[in-house]
Amino acid sequence: MLLTSVVSSQPMLGVTVSKTICTFLITLAIWRLLRRFIIKSAFDNLPGPPSRSWLFGNIPQLFTPNGWNFHHSILKRYGRAIKLRGVLGEQLLVTFDPKALHYILVKDQHIYEGSSAFIERNRQLLGEGLLSTRGEQHRKQKKMLNPVFSINHMREMSERTRCRLCCKFSLMIGSVPLFYEVTERLRATLKTKLANGPQEIDALHWMTRTALELIGQSGMGYSFDNLSGDDDIHPYSVSVKKFVPLGGGPVGFLVNQFVFPFAIKFNFPRLKRFLVECLPFQRAREFVKVIDVMHHTSIEIINAKKKALTSPNPEVVAEMMSKKDIISILMKANVTASKQDQLSDEEVLGQVSEQMTTFVFAGMDTTSSALSRTLWLLATHQDVQQRLREEIRGAQEDGQLSYDQLVSLPYLDAVCRETLRVYPPINLAPMRMARQDMILPFSKPIFDSTGKQVSEVFIPAGTNIIISVLGANCNPDLWGPDSYEWKPERWLSPLPKAVEDAHMPGIYSHLMTFLGGGRACIGFKFSQLEMKVVLSVLLSSFKFAMAEKEISWKMNGIAGPTVAGEDEMHPQLPLLMRLVE
């Protein structure tokens, strides 16, 4: 009887325990929600715009493709530290204060790591790479990749180089340098198109294809595009172009914040894929296809290189060992690294998959965005375009420009720097999250919403922090009242003393375009070289003018142009091009 009683009571006990757990979880969720409105701190008094929705806060305004006016308005009205509302009243901090950025990105970067949502999303989609690791694992991966982006390696990408063949002698490579080989193909195709006179050309289309081929050849030793036919586009290019819009915007933000951190706790990949494919949302199914193409291309490239590296033919191995593309160097470096610094097979695959995506974003989407923006600006500022063309042509008397010549052209450098200052391709850096209670100082006092001056603010653990790249680059306190105006000439004179004294923690020209600290963009030198090579080749042969269409730039994670009144999901930049006499 006693045994029967115990057995019969077990279901009742299970139900009781389940109810208790559910009640606890619901109570905890309600408490976390209510404490946002009950418990007050100095953070609550930071200035900021009113919340537009009790459910979504300011998120729709912050991440909408047409959000430029909202961003400019809050930066100019509320200053260097802004409080926004997230989902269900969550408090977000938006800042571009130089001292605050130094603490977030450099001094206390181990505390202000990438948000859990950002890290887990990248880990789910891209594997174990730079964008999805923290701490020592991230440091180890970055250390292995640093030599790839050295000045010497960049110089080799743009100059004639020596290579040691398996027959143990050296010779000068007769073909044009790698960067020029790609851009010369582009120039030849465009010359053919313009042979019969001026035409309207989609500059974004060709900048995207050229940027992908440059990063493919130099980054992976892989050709994606011969840059000939209008429609000869590699599926990988199409997929990467869709990755940011599909994963961005208000919907992408909500999915990243709430779905991926939950999904990572369940290690059932096939089940998760099945559930995603069953969702009645075309966007979700399209995202799965994009990830598949990117992943399968990564597998294809790494398997080909692994096969060459382990080939029984010494000539094949020697050829592989002589390659200087990023993925080959990564694989060779891992083979020769010390045991404690070696990556596992899973990490190498994650690195290749993730680094391919990272490098393509750096070399394709962000750089093609910056190049397209530069051409658009030059088309609207014909005097700047002509001056830049004269500088480039004057330096080309002896033929193609070397690395040292490219980086020493003052006006070309000024145009690139000013474009990246006023029009950074990425307006908001990936979110950081405070992992413990912190005091965040400011470079100078700010006025809170009560009118009180404060020089620091308490940041509760778990607070998400958004860095405004646009705000940091165009801060009128540093750059003056014309800070939001595009003026390349400002770089030809000494910069304002306030800019130098601010000690902005960015790794490039007192700007935050490529961020700073341990998670700064590792490929910023590559991107700079890429921009200058393409501009020097195009401007020496072609003239750009505005077509009779209104261009609208969208904030789709990475800024992109569209034609006003046409499909916003089809980015394009039609410019009128003609051959230069």
Q: 237 CB contacts (<8 Å, ≥6 apart)?
A: 208, 209, 212, 224, 225, 364
Residue 167: Cβ within 10 Å count: 7
Half-sphere exposure of 53 (CA within 13 A, CB side): 11
* 416 in a labelled binding site: no
Please enumerate, as own/partner, the contacts of 148-156 that have beta carbons within 8 Å and a separation of 24 or more: 148/326, 148/329, 148/330, 149/522, 149/523, 149/525, 149/526, 151/525, 153/324, 154/403, 154/525, 154/526, 154/529, 155/403, 155/404, 156/324
CA 100 vs CA 79, 91, 107, 453: distances in Å: 13, 17, 10, 16
Report whether 179 contacts 380 (CB < 8 A).
no
Q: Roughly how many angstroms between the first and final C-alpha of the chain, as a whole number?
A: 104
Of 58, 113, 53, the C-alpha closest to 83 is 58
Rounded-to-integer distance, Cα 105 and Cα 111, Å:
9
Report whether 109 contacts 519 (CB < 8 A).
yes
Which two tokens mark 68? 């430029």
Helix (H), strand (E) at residue 500: helix 497-502
Known binding-site residue numbers for heme: 521
